[in-house]
Structure 1
């Protein structure tokens, strides 16, 4: 049975993920370490994990596998889920797959090294746009449809 897992801490597309999951009758797990208002919909499970580094990530990685969809901006979590056979989407609709996850991980590590080497280097991430939200919705819709057909 297909499920959608959302790494919910700092996730800007929780509502969109819920709309798609509910429309397709798929269980949605919203995973965080607190501070979220639970959804009243019976297909949406709010999972509150204990505080600690990467506890929500570990919860998702231990459960998500083939036929599931994971929504996360966390690249190491994405790599684990791809390895387990899950489909992974970033919040902007970009798919992380076997074909690109190695390069994405390497780029993440390089950027972390550059930031560590230059303490004056500021943020640099792009803002989240309406176009990102639209791309995400389209991509999630396609992945959930495909997962339900194959499952």
Structure 2
């Protein structure tokens, strides 16, 4: 059964993902350490994992596979999901796949090294916008439809 897995702890697009899941009749699983309000939607399941670093990531990486779509901003998790055959989309609508995940992972590692070497180089990026939400919904809809085929 096709599933949309959401790395839910810091996900700003849970509502948009639920709309897509409902419209397309696809199961959606919110994976978190807790604190996420369960949905009344029968297609949406909440999975609470143990507290600790990367527990939600471990669950999603082990559960996903071909035909599934994973929503995450966590690049190492995205790499594992792509390797498992799942389609991956970031919160801003950027699709991660076998052709770009290596570069995205390398860039993430480089930026992490730069931040740790220079304590004044913190933050960055632009704020999350309405355009990001819209792009996310469009890309998620397309990926779920492609995965259904």
TM-score by length of 2: 0.98
Matches within 5 A, 1:50-89: 50-89=50-89
Q: How much has 1:122 moved relative to structure 2?
A: 2.1
User: C-alpha distance in 1, partners of 2:10/2:29?
Assistant: 15
Where structure 1 has 5 or more consecutive residues not aligned to the other structure, the ranges are none
1:102 paired with 2:102, answer yes
After superposition, the CA RMSD in angstroms is 0.6
Secondary structure, counterpart of 1:108 in structure 2 = helix
Q: Write out the 4+ residue segments of structure 1 that deviate beyond 4 Å after TM superposition.
A: none
Q: Quote the residue 1:28 is aligned against.
A: 28
Q: Quote the residue 1:146 is aligned against.
A: 146
TM-score by length of 1: 0.97
User: C-alpha distance in 2, partners of 1:94/1:5?
Assistant: 16
Q: Deviations over 1:28-70 (max 9, x none)?
A: 0001101111001111001111100100000000010000000
Q: How much has 1:22 moved relative to structure 2?
A: 1.1
Q: How much has 1:9 moved relative to structure 2?
A: 1.1
Q: Quote the residue 1:45 is aligned against.
A: 45
Q: How many residue pairs end up in the alignment?
A: 149
Q: Deviations over 1:56-113 (max 9, x none)?
A: 0000000100000000000000000000000000001000000000000000000000
Where structure 2 has 5 or more consecutive residues not aligned to the other structure, the ranges are none
User: C-alpha distance in 2, partners of 1:76/1:47?
Assistant: 20
